[in-house]
Amino acid sequence: MLKKLFGTIGILCLLFSSTVESQSLLLKAKGQAENETKILDSISYKKLFNDYESLNNEIYSLKNKLEKIGFLESKLEAIQKANDSTFLALFNIGIKYKSIDLYYKGLIEKKVISNIASEVNDDFFRISFEKLEESLNYLNAALAEKGNPFLKIQIIDVLKNDDLTLKGTLVIINENEDQRTIDQIIVKGYDKFPRSYIKHYLKLKPKQLLNIKSINSKTSDLENLVFANQIREPELLFTKDSTSLYIYIEKANSNTFDGFLGFGTNDQTGNIEFDGYLNLNLTNNLNYGESLKLLYKSDENKQRTFDIKVSMPYVFGSPLGTEFKLNIFRKDSTFITTSQSAKLIYQFNSRNVLSAGINSISSNNLLENSTALLQDYKSNFYLFNYAHQRNQKFDILFPTNFLFDLSFGTGKRTLENINTSQTSLYLDTFKIFHLNTRNNIYLRLNGGSLMSDNYLENELMRFGGINSIRGFEENSLYANLFSVLNSEYRYRVSNNLYIHSVIDLAYFENQIIDVKDKLLGLGFGFGLLTQAGLFKLNYSSGNSENQEFTLSNSKIHISLSSTF
């Protein structure tokens, strides 16, 4: 009987002890006076714990927080157990120092310190204790940007001032550490990555001061390259005498094929007519970063366009690239125009490009009898171009988020030994505005102007069609001044499919026939990402300012863009 009684008591004790161990422990911090307790309560600290070790760690963490805000003389007087689950941490927090004067002369540049402190003298600067840790981290980062990643700043000889401030001296640990430079740049994954892009595009080269923050920023620009991807963050290998930078890159498919087929009803004959184009873009096939663009276009107005452009970046290892372009346009049996241009290109960074060059144009009248508005002529222009582009490679449906492309030309046209000064201006810009993950708005503005004392029909600008104002025949509109606003509301049904509206507005002037008109294109379309590429279909109808919409004016455009 006695054994059973002792056994029962033992079981109860065990259950009781388990209950005590499993219950939460409560921490309360108290000061020497009520105002000190209020200060402790204003500091965020954890109050509930599962074990005593965690509670004890939080007490010493609280003491560190006091020191960081200026209570440098704070003391933990005792830890008392109020009851089985409550512990009291008794503090004497002392006085609060507001700031510290740090003497730095000759150690760090004054302009660097001005970024973190409002009171900066030639010998010292004043910083509040709340910002002290953040400021020291900033100064350490500034040293790292100077090629000293292993140097650390420390405060020594801390003394009291007469008021509630302190003073101290900044010193550098490991002062004998030499400045680090990038001694070797090694590309992993894509061994044939163009070395000129490392030097001029990423702006990384040997003997450059080591700046880890700058390296990460520069290598992130690889995301703007169409022919390469960064597959992991760059890494540094430090040895006693050298520093090696490893960049991890993979080659990406960057060749594109784009084509479309359009058909509509001829207003005069009532027959269905077809038009279309082929656009081939070959990029970096020689591992040089070069590109070759070939365009052939045939439209329902019996117009033919042949366009070829070759771009070669960083020629002979220089920061300059070149671009050569040939364009041939034939208007049935009326005239043929040939345009040849050559440019020098300078790429400031991954997004901004500036180019300058010359453009030579020659046009021949194919009719037996010349007219006053259709004659042989030659033109020569000096060209200037600026382009800014922002890519979003993570989005397969819409890989480019923003484009701004502005071209300016000045020159003269020669007609029967008479020279006429001319100026040209072209703009193409668009932006995608993301409303949320499924909805966005696409806006594009493109236009041009040819400024001259008089005009010929075969020198006017041509627009209209899927890449201009939709609902009109390809290149069916001639103008010396035009502007087109394309807008789409896009709804992403899935990662592979989106539907969109078509609302296009245009204004153009043709001084030859004294026409000024406004145009409107309305419709809808969709884009579907297939294994073959991005398939697009647009249905749109266009009319002029004083014309009603009719289904007979509607156009259906089908295109397929493939990357390989």
Render 27-82 in DSSP notation, one character per residue: EEEE-SSHHHHHHHHHS----EESSHHHHHHHHHHHHHHHHHTT-TT-EEEEEEE-
Are 210 and 351 contained in the same domain? no
pLDDT above 70 as % of the chain = 91
Mean pLDDT, rounded, for 259-288: 74
pLDDT digit string, tens, across residues 152-189: 788 888 888 877 888 888 887 765 566 788 999 999 99
Are 436 and 523 contained in the same domain? yes
| 436 contacts: CB under 8 Å, gap ≥ 6 | none
* Selection from 326, 346, 72, 312 nearest residue 194 by Cα: 312
Mean pLDDT, rounded, for 446-467: 93
Instruction: Establish if 354 belongs to a structural domain.
Output: yes
Are 44 and 82 contained in the same domain? yes
- Under DSSP, is residue 215 helix (H, G, I), strand (E, B) or coil? helix
Boundary (domain end) residue, out of 200, 216, 251: 251
Instruction: Establish if 501 belongs to a structural domain.
Output: yes
Rounded to an integer, what is the distance from CA 130 to the centroid of its chain?
Answer: 35
| pLDDT at residue 456, as a whole number | 93
pLDDT band with cut points at 50, 70 and 90 for residue 262: low
pLDDT band with cut points at 50, 70 and 90 for residue 484: very high
Instruction: Establish if 281 belongs to a structural domain.
Output: no
Are 352 and 497 contained in the same domain? yes
pLDDT band with cut points at 50, 70 and 90 for residue 1: very low
Are 51 and 192 contained in the same domain? no
Instruction: Establish if 312 belongs to a structural domain.
Output: no
Choice among 256-260, 332-336, 395-399 with the minimum mean pLDDT: 256-260
Boundary (domain end) residue, out of 202, 218, 251: 251
Are 215 and 360 contained in the same domain? no
* Selection from 529, 508, 530, 528 nearest residue 518 by Cα: 508
Instruction: Establish if 194 belongs to a structural domain.
Output: yes
pLDDT band with cut points at 50, 70 and 90 for residue 300: low
Are 459 and 487 contained in the same domain? yes
Q: Are 385 and 325 in contact (CB under 8 A)?
A: no
Is residue 333 over pLDDT 90? no
Instruction: Establish if 462 belongs to a structural domain.
Output: yes
- Under DSSP, is residue 205 helix (H, G, I), strand (E, B) or coil? coil
Mean pLDDT, rounded, for 233-247: 89
Q: Hey, what are 562's tokens?
A: 């493939």
* Selection from 333, 335, 331, 314 nearest residue 323 by Cα: 314
Mean pLDDT, rounded, for 479-507: 96
Which helix (H) or strand (E) segment holds residue 128: the answer is: strand 124-128
Rounding to the nearest 10 degrees, give the CA dihedral for residues 303, 484, 291, 361. 50
pLDDT above 90 as % of the chain = 44
Choice among 114-128, 422-436, 497-511, 526-540 with the minimum mean pLDDT: 114-128
Which helix (H) or strand (E) segment holds residue 105: the answer is: none
Q: List the CATH number of the domain containing 209.
A: 3.10.20.310
Helix 212-219 and helix 132-145, axial crossing angle in degrees, nearest 10? 70
Rg (CA), the chain: 36
Are 429 and 517 contained in the same domain? yes
474, HSE (Cβ side, Cα atoms, 13 Å): 25
Boundary (domain end) residue, out of 145, 173, 201: 173
Q: Which of 123-127, 256-260, 427-431 has the highest mean pLDDT?
A: 427-431
Helices and strands: H and E segment counts in the chain: 7, 32
| pLDDT at residue 2, as a whole number | 38
Q: Computed from CA positions of residues 194, 196, 199, 201, in that sequence, does the dihedral angle turn out positive or negative?
A: negative
**Model pTM?**
0.73
Are 83 and 110 contained in the same domain? no
Distance CA 364, CA 374 (A): 9
Instruction: Establish if 8 belongs to a structural domain.
Output: no
Mean pLDDT, rounded, for 101-112: 83
Rounding to the nearest 10 degrees, give the CA dihedral for residues 394, 397, 401, 405. 130
| pLDDT at residue 418, as a whole number | 92
Q: List the CATH number of the domain containing 539.
A: 2.40.160.50
Q: List the CATH number of the domain containing 36.
A: 3.10.20
* Selection from 381, 398, 403 nearest residue 498 by Cα: 398
* Selection from 237, 230, 147, 221 nearest residue 184 by Cα: 237
Instruction: Establish if 325 belongs to a structural domain.
Output: no
Distance CA 477, CA 288 (A): 39
Choice among 12-21, 78-87, 274-283 with the minimum mean pLDDT: 12-21
Are 225 and 358 contained in the same domain? no
In terms of residue numbers, what domain contains 151? 99-173
| pLDDT at residue 349, as a whole number | 86
Are 158 and 220 contained in the same domain? no
Q: Are 70 and 166 in contact (CB under 8 A)?
A: no
Residue with tokens 């002792």: 6
Task: Find the DSSP H helices in 180-274.
Answer: 195-196, 212-219
Are 164 and 201 contained in the same domain? no
- Under DSSP, is residue 556 helix (H, G, I), strand (E, B) or coil? strand
pLDDT, averaged across the chain = 86
Q: State the total domains in the chain.
A: 4
Q: Hey, what are 548's tokens?
A: 């009603």
Residue with tokens 């923003």: 402
Q: Hey, what are 132's tokens?
A: 């002290």
Mean pLDDT, rounded, for 66-73: 87
Residue 31, class by beta-carbon neighbours within 10 Å (0-12 exposed, 13-18 middle, 19+ buried)? buried
| pLDDT at residue 554, as a whole number | 82
Q: Are 214 and 275 in contact (CB under 8 A)?
A: no
